[in-house]
Structure 1
Amino acid sequence: MFCPHAGGAASFFAPFTRHFPAGFDLSGVQYPGRQERLDEPLVPTVEGLAEHLVPILRGLATPAVPLVLFGHSMGASVAFEAALRLAAEEPRTPCLVVVSGRAAPSVPRAHRYPETDGEILDDMVKLGGTQAEFARDPELRDLFLPALRNDYGAVARYRPTGEEVLDAPLLCLTGERDPRVSAEAAAAWKNHTSAEFRLESFPGGHFYLADHREAVARAVADWAESPRGGPPSHTGT
């Protein structure tokens, strides 16, 4: 399952699906307050988004088929928190976690999160998540800004202890020129799993994955299909 970034929607991952091998059951998480869920209340915390996700995962997970959670940027934190909660409920459920574009929970924050609408929009454009002309269009901006504002606030308020450890294989993907995630901050994810850890980097910045969809899909599929990971399964959110 795919978990989108701040301000993002499940549709962001649609182009990735054509690059996965047959046998994967692919789906994306649509957070409340966007696209077809536009009329639903926004969820103001990362933990709240994870808690909304757990009942869905509970219905997908089986002892025989591993569940793969893929989260990018804010979505990486959502996926990680959801995996922790699922493991607490169902410790024998096989689960693999893929975190992308996100520093490990144990890494101290090195920057201040934008607070005003102007700062948030400028930051999103700078990171490559939204084209400048899209952000400047008043009608489109008014449509996606509430979710973007909510999600930036959720990330700013997220305060993991830094000691969380998941008993599940963890794959970390990162952009080599990501201004928010250094190589060291990505590698620190190895401290948050007691199982196998792998780090793979790609050319590009924070949204490197948009330029390397096939390579990213292959990395995730190889990880899921490895002898340790077992057969292919649900990927996304």
Structure 2
Amino acid sequence: MTSPTGPDRARARAAWLRAFHDAREQARTLVCFPHAGGTAGHYFPLSAALAPDVHVLAVQYPGRQDRCAEPAFEDLSLLADEIAGLLAAARPPAAPVLFGHSMGALIAFETAARLEHRYGAAPAGLIVSGMQAPYHRKAPRLSGDGEEAALEALLTLGGTDPAVLAHPELRAMILPALRSDFRASAAYRPGSSPSLLSCPIAAWKGRDDEVAESDVGAWSEYTISAFHTQDFDGGHFYLDGFPPPIVQAVRTAVIRQTGSLAHSPTRTDT
């Protein structure tokens, strides 16, 4: 896709990147990437809790909600191409931290790689949640192309109220994007962009999630800077609703990663 310019770029940015709350002039920027089937609105509670000190931008993927008329992407690398291009064109005063959960972790990582290696605009940091490191992914957790397989996978992960999926109209709204996201996650292979980052990485998981500790720890292989791991009470969707402990963890990670840019790269595993 050709990069938009002028007014078209502004419209594209507004479509892809949603800001829910005002922020201070010198606020740090956090760009959030939803999980499979997720929307930008998932990050509204986090934005509310961090404003005005952190400016939260949430990515709205095509094929859902107000973008339902657009075809959903079935290639995570192409998604990262689009998002990285918009972020690089914006050139904010300070580099953002990228935060992705589950499928969103892979897109955030690929976006970070493009920002650094394609645009020379490395992010300040990367937070990845609920996802194995790219080269440590085994059989994709989100598989199955049929409706029932997609719904079963979503219910197993615990990310959606079963009552919502039992409603025919809501199911019809959710399923097309969900199935496309599942296909994109299953087809994802790393390596479309150089993957070693100069920014710090924080890798998180729920204690009851099926993602192995070693596969989360393997994210350390993707940075020459600081690396931190942390786990939280709960399963795959431990961060749903962004309760205070999760908000505080995000705030701490953003401050740590943006502050670390003034220092020489170090590694600290916790």
TM-score (norm 1): 0.89
Residue of structure 2 in register with 1:99 after alignment: 128
Label 1:166 to 1:210 Cα distance change in 2 as closer, same or farther (>3 A). Answer: same
* CA distances 1:79-110 after superposition (whole Å, capped 9, x unpaired): 00011011113335443111011110121414
Asked if 1 retains the 8 angstrom alpha-carbon contact of 2:33 and 2:100, the reply is: yes
Label 1:21 to 1:229 Cα distance change in 2 as closer, same or farther (>3 A). Answer: farther
1:11 aligns with 2:41: yes
Residue of structure 2 in register with 1:154 after alignment: 184
Asked if 2 retains the 8 angstrom alpha-carbon contact of 1:101 and 1:206, the reply is: yes
Structure 1: unaligned runs, 5 residues or longer: 231-237
Asked if 1 retains the 8 angstrom alpha-carbon contact of 2:62 and 2:73, the reply is: yes
Q: Letter of the 2:216 partner, please give it.
A: A
1:90 aligns with 2:119: yes
Residue of structure 2 in register with 1:207 after alignment: 237
Residue of structure 2 in register with 1:47 after alignment: 77
2:65 to 32, 35, 38: 35
Taking the aligned partners of 2:115 and 2:78, their CA distance within structure 1 comes to 14
Taking the aligned partners of 1:149 and 1:87, their CA distance within structure 2 comes to 30
Label 1:92 to 1:15 Cα distance change in 2 as closer, same or farther (>3 A). Answer: closer
The 5 A counterparts of 1:72-221 are 72-110=101-139, 113-161=143-191, 164-179=195-210, 181-210=211-240, 212-221=242-251
Structure 2: unaligned runs, 5 residues or longer: 1-30, 263-270
Tell me whether 145-154 or 187-196 shows the greater mean CA deviation.
187-196
Asked if 1 retains the 8 angstrom alpha-carbon contact of 2:202 and 2:229, the reply is: yes
Tell me whether 170-179 or 102-111 shows the greater mean CA deviation.
102-111
Asked if 2 retains the 8 angstrom alpha-carbon contact of 1:120 and 1:152, the reply is: yes
Taking the aligned partners of 1:151 and 1:5, their CA distance within structure 2 comes to 9
Asked if 1 retains the 8 angstrom alpha-carbon contact of 2:140 and 2:185, the reply is: no
TM-score (norm 2): 0.79
Task: Figure out how many residues of one structure are paired with residues of the other and give that number.
Answer: 228
Asked if 2 retains the 8 angstrom alpha-carbon contact of 1:127 and 1:206, the reply is: yes
> How far is the alpha carbon of 1:212 from its aligned partner?
4.7
Identity %: 36
2:252 to 214, 222, 228: 222
Q: Letter of the 2:40 partner, please give it.
A: A
Taking the aligned partners of 1:153 and 1:116, their CA distance within structure 2 comes to 10
Rg larger for: 2
> How far is the alpha carbon of 1:211 from its aligned partner?
5.7
> How far is the alpha carbon of 1:120 from its aligned partner?
1.0
Asked if 2 retains the 8 angstrom alpha-carbon contact of 1:70 and 1:98, the reply is: yes
